[in-house]
Structure 1
C-alpha cells in the first residue's frame, strides 16, 4: 500500500491538471502513472521530476535507444526500485529481449555496469569503471550521463520511499520473483 496515495483526477487543481495535460501532450504515449499522480500533490515536484524526459532524450542521442533504456534499467535495478525496474523491463521485453538474458557487447556491458555501480555505490565509482566511459564519451556527454543517473536515482528514491504502487499496465512485466509494490 502506498504511503501517499496518487492524487485522484477529481482532486487535481487546474494548475496540476494543466501540468498533467502539458506532459501528456509534450511526450506522446506517456500517461499519468501512479508515480506522476503522486507527484501531482506538488506541482513543483511534478515539474522537477518530469525533467527526466528531456534528459532521457539526450541520453538516447548519446547512447542510442537500446543502450539508453538498458542504462536506465541498470540504474533502477541498482537502486532496487521495483517500479522503475519493471517499467524498463517492459521496454526491454517489448523490444524482443529478456532482461535476464541480454546479449551485450563489451562496451554495452561497461555502460550498464557504470549505471548500476552509480546506483549501488551512491556515486563512488572506481577508476576501472570510469575510465572506459571517459575514453569513449566526451566531457559534455559524461555530464549528461551522470546527471541522468542522478535523476533516475531520484525517481527510484521517490518511488521506494513512498512505496508507489506499480501500475496495472506493468503487471505482465513483473519478474517472477523479488519484491514488488503492486496493489493487492
Structure 2
C-alpha cells in the first residue's frame, strides 16, 4: 500500500488527539481516564456494544467540540466543581455549564451536588468511564439502528405538512 493510500488512525487519549497511520481499518480509540485509573476497579460504564446508532451520534457530537474535549480531559484527570473548572479552563461558568449539560446528556460525565463546609451547594463533575473502538464494521451495524432524521429528511417532513 502506497503512502497516499495509507489510512489514518486517529487516537484520542485524555482529550488530546494525535494522528497515526495504519495499513488496516480506520479506528477511533477513545480512552479518557487519569493515569492512575484502573478500568478493572471502576468498570467501564459505556462500551460501543452498549450503544445504539443514535446514542453514538450523540456521544460523537459531544466530543466533536474542542472545548468539550478539554472539559472531559479535565474531569478525567480529577473530579471538580464548576467554578474551579471554569477558572482552570479559562472559560465563563455560563459557557462551561452549556458544555457540561451536553456532555452529561451524552453520558460522558456525571454530576453530584454536595454541600461545602461553609454551606454552599457545589456541583461536582467527573468522567464516566468509557471505551469506544470504532471500526467500519461497527459503524455499519450502528448505522442500521439510527432513528434520528437527517437534516434533509427533517426538511422533507416539514414540507409534507
* TM-score interval, smaller chain: under 0.3
Bigger share in helix? 1
> If you compute each CA radius of gyration, which structure gives the higher value, 1 or 2?
2
Bigger share in strand? 2
TM-score by length of 1: 0.25
